[in-house]
Amino acid sequence: MAGNRAVVYTGPGKVEVSDIDFPGLVLRDGPGVNPRNVGRKCEHGVILKVVSTNICGSDQHMVRGRTTAPSGLVLGHEITGEVIEVGRDVEFIKKGDLVSVPFNIACGRCRSCKERNTNVCLNVNPDRPGSAYGYVDMGGWVGGQSEYVMVPYADFQLLKFPDKEQAMEKIRDLTMLSDIFPTGYHGAVSAGVRPGSTVYVAGAGPVGLAAAHSAQLLGAAVVIVGDLNGERLAQARSFGCETVNLSDHANLGEQIEQILGVPEVDSAIDCVGFEAHGHGHGHTEAPATVLNSIMEVTRAGGRLGIPGLYVTGDPGAIDNDAKVGTLKIRFGLGWAKSHTFVTGQTPVMQYHRELMMSILSGKAQIAKAVNATVISLDDAPRAYQEFDKGAARKFVIDPHGLIK
């Protein structure tokens, strides 16, 4: 049997590459595995040889110690791979297929899945609706920043690429289909972006850049990206976005007015989440800042897409309320302006096929937008450190050296 190596969270600020068990078609006990999931048989699943797996900002929240993730948790929910073993109950996915794995784990059988809300599947996490690989409080499904990984419910979930050779030529783009591209796109769709829209994207990390590119694909007239990091803002400008540097100027509306002539936009997207900082010189953590600021600058009757992560348990939060996800949000402002809010995990399967076709046709250039940077599995700890310091890159781990 082949060995298996993976990126493992070992404590706040620490990850390492470790030997772990080769996956089987069963969910074994281990760090973070819900006791009611231990021993769960997955003959509906497959074993993948991981071709690419990406480091996500959501992973970084755990690595910073800002969640209740246990030491020893295998990280990684953005997975693309080749099928090397199929379970007894798998009918349509075959050995040798190259596939994209939605980061949401979904059974395909429950009410949520049948209504296309695969982000809140009712059967994969005993604690609450919704699950993901390698993530705290998500049922304990083993992460995919590894050489091999098990994926359940293969026939329902997996997106097979129609041509393996063509897919490998575009793998830097296609690897984004597991999470970041659908998540950014969901943020833009939820915010009601359409041809001619003016759009504000809060955050120029990889999800923010993906949301900005998605807004362009949807026909936005102007996309404005705001951040505190000049390098990341330069990356947003590299593919045609306007930018505002919120470390220089605290008033977002004034900066938007300088670009558009009015201090408001049609749509706004929060791609920052619960570790948000205030604006202006000497900014410090203020987790409600982004939510309040996007309500201020979105026109009456506008929509807010909120793919940024918010959690119910944050041991490093600035106050006791924030530790349980209670933030000081100006909900009255949103009510007065008749805003529509859309939050939560992205239902990847609603979008990944159409986005795959956009990539294969050359319409979408998501790898360029997020500055995809391929690294080895052994380089992952260094990449986590660079990402934490604000590197304007999306790190793509290539565990087997398969990417040209």
Rounded to the nearest integer, the mean pLDDT of the chain is 96
pTM: 0.96
Contact between 199 and 294 (Cβ < 8 Å): no
- Does the pLDDT of residue 385 top 80, yes or no? yes
Question: What percentage of residues in the chain have a pLDDT greater than 90?
Answer: 96
Between CA 29 and CA 340 the distance in angstroms is 41
Model confidence pLDDT, tens digit, residues 71-104: 999 999 999 999 999 999 999 999 999 999 999 9
Report pLDDT for 248: 84
Q: Give the pLDDT band of residue 2 (cuts 50, 70, 90).
A: confident
> Residue with structure tokens 């026909």?
219
Q: What angle do CA 21, 71, 122 make, to 5 degrees?
A: 75
- Does the pLDDT of residue 1 top 90, yes or no? no
Model confidence pLDDT, tens digit, residues 210-266: 999 999 999 999 999 999 999 999 999 999 999 999 998 889 999 999 999 999 999
Give the Å distances, CA to CA, from 6 to 3, 76, 180, 247, 348: 10, 9, 21, 37, 24
Report pLDDT for 102: 98
Report pLDDT for 249: 81
Q: What is the average per-residue pLDDT within 44-70?
A: 96
Give the domains, in start order, of the chain with CATH numbers. 5-179+349-397 (3.90.180.10), 182-343 (3.40.50.720)
- Does the pLDDT of residue 376 top 80, yes or no? yes
Question: What percentage of residues in the chain have a pLDDT greater than 70?
Answer: 100
Model confidence pLDDT, tens digit, residues 113-168: 999 999 999 999 999 999 999 999 999 999 999 999 999 999 999 999 999 999 99
